[in-house]
Amino acid sequence: MISKKGRALKYGDNINTDIISPPQYMELGIAEASAYAMQAADPEFPKRVKPGDIFVAENNLGSGSSRETSPLTLKYLGISCVVAKSFARIFYRNCINVGIPALECPQAGEIDDGDELEIDIEKGSIKNLTKADVYRCDVLPAHIMEIIHAGGMFEYLYKNLGNKRKDI
């Protein structure tokens, strides 16, 4: 079973890439820029995130730029999975590219901030341990799971091309 267990950090509709990773800090490295993540919606976000937390939103998560800085920032801060009712496609793919499972869940609106979640990615189920509810989510295809398991697209390519990763 491939699962993720963590606390939900919940947001609403239209959380765009500029909210997740403000563009005025994009010249900084991810470590420095992550201190400003979600500043417009939740200034305490970088301090609230704990390794393994699950970022939950509602509709249209990740609209905006095609930069990978938003999912990289979430990964750097310790987000293990992203769940939303719907995603902007480029953000969805960028999450996968950096090794974060992105799961569509029509019932994401029923999840509250702070709920403890356990996600079975292979079965497409999200258990809300706080509320004793179970929600359905999309099952990621095997080829996407290979990228996730590798830690992202770069690692997947290095592994499958027979090279060892060097710092990028």
Neighbours of 121 (CB within 10 A): 21
Asked if the structure places residue 158 within a domain, the reply is no
Asked if the structure places residue 55 within a domain, the reply is yes
Asked if the structure places residue 163 within a domain, the reply is no
Number of structural domains, the chain? 1
**What's residue 1's pLDDT?**
52
* Averaged pLDDT for residues 60-80: 94
State the CATH number of the domain containing residue 131.
Answer: 3.20.19.10
**What's residue 159's pLDDT?**
85
- Strand-pair partners of 5: 118
Q: Could you read off the pLDDT of 30-63 as tens digits, one per residue? A: 999 999 999 999 999 999 999 999 999 999 999 9
Helix (H, G, I), strand (E, B) or coil at 9: strand
Residue 166: pLDDT band (50, 70, 90) is low
Domain residues for the domain of 92 are 3-140
Whether residue 148 has pLDDT greater than 70: yes
Answer yes or no: are the C-beta atoms of 125 and 103 closer than 8 Å. no
Rounded Cα distance between 67 and 90, Å, is 9
**What's residue 91's pLDDT?**
96
Can you say how many angstroms the Cα of residue 122 is from the centroid of all Cα atoms in its chain? 17
Both structure tokens of 132: 């004793």
- Strand-pair partners of 6: 117
Whether residue 9 has pLDDT greater than 80: yes
Asked if the structure places residue 154 within a domain, the reply is no
**What's residue 164's pLDDT?**
56
Both structure tokens of 164: 């060892």
